[in-house]
Amino acid sequence: MQRYSKDNGVAVPTGRISRLLRFGGIASGIAGSVAAGGLRTLASGQRPDLGQLMLTPENTVRLTEGLSHLRGAALKLGQMLSMDTCVGLPDELTTILGRMRDDARHMPPKQLRTVLDAEWGKGWYGRFARFDVRPFAAASIGQVHRAETHDGKELAIKVQYPGIRASIDSDVDNIGALLRLPGVVPRDMDLAPLLNEAKRQLHAEADYISEAGHLARFGSLLEGSNIFAIPSLYEEFCTPQVLAMEYMDSVPLESLVDASQSERDRICAALIDLVLRELFVFGAMQTDPNLANYRYDPENGRVVLLDFGAVQTISPERAADFRNLAWVALNGRGTDTHEAMLRIGYFDSKTASHHKVQIQAMFHAAMEPLRQNGIFDFAASDLLERLRDMGLAIGNERDLSHVPPAATLFLHRKIGGMYLMAAKLRTRLALRPMVEAYCDDTVNAVRDGIADA
C-alpha cells in the first residue's frame, strides 16, 4: 500500500456501465494507436510488428492511466501479473504493469464520506476525537486513514473503494480481453485458470470481515514474537468494507538499507523463515509481496506486518509436494526434480520437450542460493538478471500454452518478492540450512525414493 501524494484525489467509477466504458476507451485508444502505427510502418516499406505496435510508450501511458483510475480488480490484477508470475508476458507489458504498483490514487473526501455514511451511519465522525479525511496510504482496493478514539486509542482505518466488490468479475474479464489482444501473450496460452483464481482471490481480498479473521489468526500464530508485530483488531469499527486496526508507528523496510549488515541479515532471515513457516507449518500464506506490507519499528527492532487480504490456504498435500520438490532440488537428480515439478504443475504431459528443458533450467538456476553450503551474497549475485533473461526467453516462445496452477504462481510472487527484498537490503545468508530444517518431516521418505529409483 503506497503512501499517497497530497492531491484532491480521483473519484472511483462505481457503476458497471461507467467501468465498462472506461475499459472500452482504453481498448479503442490502443487499437487506434496500433492502426496508425501500422500504417506508418507500411508507408516506410517495413512489415509491422503487432507486438511492438501494441506496447508503444503511448499505449503504456494509456493503459497505466486507465487502470490506475479504475482501481479495484483492474489495478490489482495488473499488479499481480507484474510480480514475476512466470506467465510469460512481454518485457514492455511487464514494465507497464509494474508501474501500477506505485500509482495508487485515493478517492476524494466527498466520496469517502458517502462510503462511511453507508457503513457506519450518519454522524459517525462523533465516534472519534480525530479522523483524518485524507488517507496516509492508498492501494488498489482501499485507502487507509488515521483516527483517534475518545479514549486515546490510535487507529488505522482501511476503507474500501465503492463498487469494487461488485465489479471484480467484469473487471477481470475485461483485463483478460485486453491480454488476449493479438501480440500481447502467446496465442494458445490458456489464461482462464489464472483469471478464475484471480477472481477468487480478489473476492477474498475485498471481504474485510475475512481479512479481519486472517489478521486475528496471524496475530495468534505470531503472539509473543520478538521479531514480528501485528496490529490489534478493533472489531467494533469493522464492516465488510471497513477494517479498523491499531495504528503502529513504523518506517519503510527499505530504510534498513543503511543499517548494519547484522541487522539487515537478521530481518531478512526472519522474513524468509516466516515464508517457510507459512508454507510448511501454518498452512496459510500472505501472498502479496509488496514491500509496503512490511515495515520496521526502530524503537524495538521488530517488523510490522500489514495487509492480510491476500492470504491463501495451503493444503497439507500441497505443502508435502513443495517439501519433496525442495529436497530433490537440493539433493536429487534431474529426473527426480522433473517429476516433482510435473506433480506441482510447472508443466504437463502436453508441454513441448524444449519448453520443459527451459522451465527446469530456470528452476535449477533459481535454486542456486539454496544449494550452496555457505553464505549467499544477494547483492553480489547476478541471479535476478539471469532469471529475468531466462523468463523473457520462455515468454517469447509464442507456442507456449501451459500456465502453472494459479496457487503456485501466487506462491512464487511471495518467494520472488522476498528475494527482491533481500537483494535490496544487500543480505548475506546461508539459506540451505533454513530450507533443510523444514524438509525433515519427509527427508527420509524422499531419500529412500531416490535410493530405490
pLDDT recorded at residue 178:
67
DSSP state of 374: S
Q: What whole-number distance in Å separates Cα of residue 239 and Cα of residue 230?
A: 20
Neighbours of 223 (CB within 10 A): 9
E-strand spans in 282-424? 284-286, 294-297, 302-305, 311-313, 376-377
pLDDT recorded at residue 268:
96
- Are 168 and 203 a contacting pair, CB within 8 Å? yes
Q: Which ranges of 101-251 would DSSP assign to H, the alpha helix?
A: 109-120, 164-179, 192-205, 208-221
Going by C-alpha positions, the residue among 212, 103, 220, 202 that lies closest to residue 157 is: 212
**Domain locations along the chain:** 16-105+180-185, 252-453
pLDDT recorded at residue 5:
45
pLDDT recorded at residue 20:
46
Cell of 258: 543503511
**Catalytic site residue 188?**
no
Q: What is the 3-state secondary structure (H, E, C) of 83-132?
A: CCCCCCCCHHHHHHHHHHCCCCCCCCHHHHHHHHHHHHCCCHHHHEEEEC
pLDDT recorded at residue 71:
47
Cell of 278: 507459512
pLDDT recorded at residue 88:
45
- Interacting residues of 44 by C-beta distance below 8 A, sequence separation 6+: none
* For the chain, percent of residues with pLDDT exceeding 70: 69
Q: How many helices (H) and strands (E) does the chain have?
A: 18, 13
Polymer length of the chain: 453
- Interacting residues of 99 by C-beta distance below 8 A, sequence separation 6+: 60, 64
Model confidence over 99-113: pLDDT tens digits?
544 455 678 899 999
Going by C-alpha positions, the residue among 397, 63, 114 that lies closest to residue 241 is: 114
Among the options 288, 307, 321, 336, which is catalytic? 288
24 dihedral zone (left: phi>0; alpha: psi -120 to 50; beta): alpha
pLDDT recorded at residue 282:
95
pLDDT recorded at residue 4:
45
Tell me the pLDDT of the chain (453 aa) as tens digits: 544 445 555 555 554 445 444 544 554 555 444 434 433 333 344 433 434 434 454 555 555 555 554 445 555 555 555 444 444 445 555 555 555 444 556 788 999 999 999 999 999 999 999 999 999 988 778 899 999 999 999 999 999 988 878 878 877 777 777 666 655 566 666 777 777 877 887 888 889 999 999 999 999 999 999 999 999 999 999 999 999 999 999 999 989 999 999 999 999 999 999 999 999 999 999 988 778 889 999 999 999 999 898 898 999 999 999 999 899 888 877 788 888 888 988 888 888 888 888 888 888 888 888 888 899 999 899 888 888 777 767 766 656 666 777 777 778 778 888 888 999 999 999 999 999 999 865 444 443 443 333
Model confidence over 140-167: pLDDT tens digits?
788 999 999 999 999 999 999 888 788 7
Q: Considering Cα of 24, then 27, then 30, then 35, what sign does the dihedral take?
A: negative
Going by C-alpha positions, the residue among 13, 88, 29 that lies closest to residue 64 is: 29
Q: What whole-number distance in Å separates Cα of residue 213 and Cα of residue 210?
A: 5
pLDDT recorded at residue 102:
47
pLDDT recorded at residue 350:
82
pTM above threshold 0.85 = no
